[in-house]
Amino acid sequence: MTLTETRTDAVAPSASAAPRRQADAPALFEADDISIAFGGIKAVDGVTFDVAAGEIFAIVGPNGAGKSTIFNLISRIYEPTGGRLTFQGQDITNVPPHTIARRGIARTFQNIELFEHATVLDNLLIGRHCRAKPNIFAEMLFTPGVRRRELEHREAVEEVIDFLDLANYRDQRISGLPYGVRKVVELARALCARPKLLLLDEPASGLNTEETEEVAFWIDDIKNDLGITVIMIEHDMSLVSAVSNRVLALNNGRTLALGTPSEVQSNPAVIEAYLGGEAP
């Protein structure tokens, strides 16, 4: 199965044995002192973290802490006012946003941004866009080459459909799908891009307990079977402690704590922020 070819060789540090990434292993992704302000509000203020290949990295924090903004900075939707983003040793702080997917970073959105009026299959095929080499003249003639590449994309998409069990919804339009399925479709669409780094913005929000457990299994599979590194924003601390190797806690755009799930959960500043009241 070609889906597994993207597996990276780096061994994921397991949550219990090796909480911090080894200093000698090069980081897959680094955010160095990134900041952004909207008007007077510093949504992200000097945040630094790095993510090793094969890691599952969680970002937690109360609403408005700046978590989604970090993803939008990585996707290059927002222009950082300071700092540096590095992916696979390359500086991506100033690259055009549409090149991010081709470099190997795919994402989901907190408010689900699917292509409403297209079918699940078409949504997933659009996920292949960064792996396609569109040639408009050949496409208008639908040359045998175009046909062959379409079949290749379709095969790649079907692997993801199998992986996430979406076969029943393949030909349905998004606008007719329930919320839980949409979340899975969005995850599937990101996987179709064959990313090395996957950004999940609240993958379990709005899901019930069983669906949340399913998400936990999928995230594990994504790491172990597909070898994809994951950065995940999540409120649900049980999901975070179940799957993630390290956690970054944010409040008001600033880092509160960075460490293993249990370290972060017992950090006084984190407890303070979650129980309300300003962190000192």
Partner 1 sequence: MRILFKTSYLDDIRLFQHSGQVFWYGLLTVGLLLAPFVLGDFYVGELSYVFVLAIAGVGLMLLIGYTGLVSLGHGAFMAIGAYTNTYLITKGVPFLIAFPAAGLAALLAGVLIAVPANRMTGIYLAIATLAFSQIVEQLVIRWESVTRGFQGMPVPAPELFGHALARPWEFYYFCLAVLILVVLAAINLTRSPTGRAMVAIRDSEISAQSLGVNLVQYKTIAFALSAGITGLGGALLGHKMRFISPDAFNILLSIQLLLMVVVGGLGSIHGAILGAIFVGGLPQAIALMRDYLPPTIARTPGLEPGLFGVVMVSVVLFEPLGIYGRWLKIKAFFDYFPIYRRATFKRQRSYLKTERVR
Ligand X SMILES: Nc1ncnc2c1ncn2[C@@H]1O[C@H](COP(=O)(O)OP(=O)(O)O)[C@@H](O)[C@H]1O
Residues that bind ligand X (CB under 6 A): 38, 41, 43, 61, 63-69
| Shortest Cβ 110–Mg ion spacing (Å) | 5
Which of partner 1, Mg ion, ligand X, none is residue 89 near (CB under 5 to 8 Å by kind)?
A: none
Candidate segments 62-70, 88-96, 117-125, 172-180, binder of Mg ion by CB under 5 A: 62-70
Rounded CA-CA distance 25/87 in Å is 14
| Interacting residues toward partner 1 by CB under 8 A | 62-63, 75, 77, 96-102, 106-107, 109-118, 121-122, 125-130, 132, 134, 136, 139-142, 146-147, 150-151, 153-155, 158, 175-179, 182, 189, 193, 202, 205-206, 235, 274
| Shortest Cβ 59–ligand X spacing (Å) | 8
| Shortest Cβ 72–ligand X spacing (Å) | 7
Nearer to partner 1 by Cβ, of 106 and 226: the residue is: 106
Sheet holding 197-201, edge to edge: 105-107, 197-201, 229-233, 56-60, 246-251, 254-259
Distance of CA 3 to CAs 25, 140, 162, 181, 227, Å?
24, 30, 11, 22, 10
Q: DSSP secondary-structure letter at 136? A: H
Nearer to ligand X by Cβ, of 74 and 174: the residue is: 74
What is the SS3 assignment for 89? coil
Nearer to partner 1 by Cβ, of 20 and 98: the residue is: 98
Nearer to Mg ion by Cβ, of 68 and 260: the residue is: 68
Residue of 12, 13, 16 whose CA lies nearest to 241? 16
Nearer to Mg ion by Cβ, of 86 and 255: the residue is: 255
Nearer to Mg ion by Cβ, of 156 and 240: the residue is: 240
Which of Mg ion, ligand X, partner 1, none is residue 114 near (CB under 5 to 8 Å by kind)?
A: partner 1
| Shortest Cβ 25–partner 1 spacing (Å) | 27
| Shortest Cβ 197–partner 1 spacing (Å) | 13
Q: How many CB atoms lie within 10 A of CB 70?
A: 29
Rounded CA-CA distance 111/86 in Å is 26
110 binds Mg ion (CB under 5 A): yes
Residue of 39, 56, 50 whose CA lies nearest to 74? 50
Binding mask 221-250 for Mg ion (x = CB under 5 A): ------------------------------
Rounded CA-CA distance 232/200 in Å is 5
Does residue 79 contact residue 96 with C-beta atoms inside 8 Å? no
Nearer to Mg ion by Cβ, of 114 and 130: the residue is: 114
Q: How many CB atoms lie within 10 A of CB 271?
A: 13
What is the SS3 assignment for 247? strand
Residue of 181, 74, 75, 71 whose CA lies nearest to 123? 181
Contact pick of 68, 123, 229, 260 for Mg ion (by CB under 5 A): 68
By the criterion CB under 5 A, which residues form the site for Mg ion? Answer: 68, 110
